[in-house]
């Protein structure tokens, strides 16, 4: 799908997490890794990167905008190993992406209450295990729901629902009257599947909104450019802009923890590459 000038899309690059999208896609290689180097076996960051030594040091040294976020401490994440989820008894690391529950002591994990309910419309080709939108469910469990496309899409109240998507007639978040809005929808799919989702009969007539242009910090290469965000980035920016619009343009990190896991994995990847002295193609403002 073509890029849309001066808008930010939520759909293209991932839409997933730490490992990005389809396994057979050339764009799956980490942005900083040599394109001609074989992808190491077991490269799922969420499960297989065993060392977290140095992550806290990298957090202190990081000069990206992520370092300015007001995040819950990462201290408890450093010693978390692969363990059984208490609910489904599957072995996971950091969080269970099936149950959307944090691992380790849940009291050490950040939690958020969101001002609007969130539905993430999930395309079936996107692996849940690689979804960055899952982070929002883990952090704000009671306010985020995953909707499987196409069979689970409900009948939405058009007066109470908006959809984050940069359509030709979409309005900026800061220009929206939120007095009646109770729910915001996010689409999680690759860009070429987005319009298939948007054509679903039950999504017709829902007002589209867009966020200001932003640059992604996502670590996976994708061909559309750095204005195409990971889903969790889009969710974060939406709620930040929503808060600004409702609070006289004042923001004090109220929703920064939406990027808690995202920021942790960003620092984990940077640390791993530095420790292993791995060759990489330098991405501007990425490896510090």
Scanning 24-93, the segments in alpha helix (DSSP H) are 45-48, 55-61
Residue 283 reports pLDDT greater than 90: no
Instruction: Give the single-character DSSP code of 109.
Output: S
pLDDT in tens, 168-206: 899 999 999 999 999 999 999 887 888 899 999 999 999
pLDDT level of residue 215 (50, 70, 90 thresholds)? confident
Is the pLDDT confidence value at 124 over 90?
yes
Per-residue model confidence (pLDDT) at position 155: 98
At residue 268, does pLDDT exceed 60? yes
pLDDT of 1: 37
Average pLDDT, the chain: 80
**Is 13's pLDDT higher than 60?**
no
Distance (Å, whole) CA 216 – CA 228: 7
pLDDT at 24 (0 to 100): 37
Gap between the Cα atoms of 238 and 251, Å rounded: 13
Q: Give SS3 for 263.
A: helix
Which of 281, 276, 241, 222 is CA-nearest to residue 54? 276
pLDDT at 15 over 50: no
User: What gap in Å lies between CA 126 and CA 117, rounded to an integer?
Assistant: 22
What integer is the mean pLDDT of 214-242?
83
Banded pLDDT at 133 (limits 50, 70, 90): very high
**Number of other residues whose CB lies within 10 A of the CB of residue 13:** 28
- Nearest Cα neighbor of 34 from 279, 209, 255 is 279
């Amino acid at each position: 799908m073509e890029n849309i000038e001066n808008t930010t899309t939520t759909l293209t690059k991932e839409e997933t997490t730490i490992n990005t999208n389809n396994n057979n896609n050339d764009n799956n290689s980490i942005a900083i890794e040599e394109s001609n180097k074989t992808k190491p076996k077991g490269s799922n960051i969420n499960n297989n990167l065993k060392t977290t030594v140095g992550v806290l040091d990298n957090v202190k040294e990081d000069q990206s905008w992520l370092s300015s976020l007001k995040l819950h401490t990462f201290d408890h994440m450093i010693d978390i190993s692969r363990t059984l989820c208490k609910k489904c008894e599957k072995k996971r690391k950091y969080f269970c992406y099936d149950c959307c529950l944090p691992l380790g002591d849940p009291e050490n994990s950040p939690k958020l209450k969101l001002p609007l309910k969130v539905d993430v419309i999930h395309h079936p080709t996107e692996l849940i295990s690689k979804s960055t939108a899952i982070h929002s469910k883990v952090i704000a469990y009671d306010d985020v729901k995953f909707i499987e496309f196409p069979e689970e899409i409900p009948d939405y109240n058009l007066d109470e629902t908006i959809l984050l998507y940069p359509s030709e007639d979409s309005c900026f978040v800061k220009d929206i009257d939120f007095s009646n809005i109770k729910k915001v929808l996010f689409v999680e799919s690759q860009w070429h599947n987005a319009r298939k989702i948007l054509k679903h009969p039950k999504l017709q007539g829902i007002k589209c909104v867009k966020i200001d242009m932003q640059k992604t910090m996502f670590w996976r290469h994708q061909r559309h450019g750095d204005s195409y965000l990971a889903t969790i980035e889009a969710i974060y920016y939406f709620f930040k802009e929503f808060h600004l619009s409702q609070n006289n343009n004042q923001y004090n990190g109220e929703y920064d923890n939406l990027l808690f896991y995202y920021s942790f994995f960003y620092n984990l990847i940077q640390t791993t590459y530095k420790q292993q002295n791995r060759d990489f193609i330098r991405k501007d403002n990425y490896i510090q």
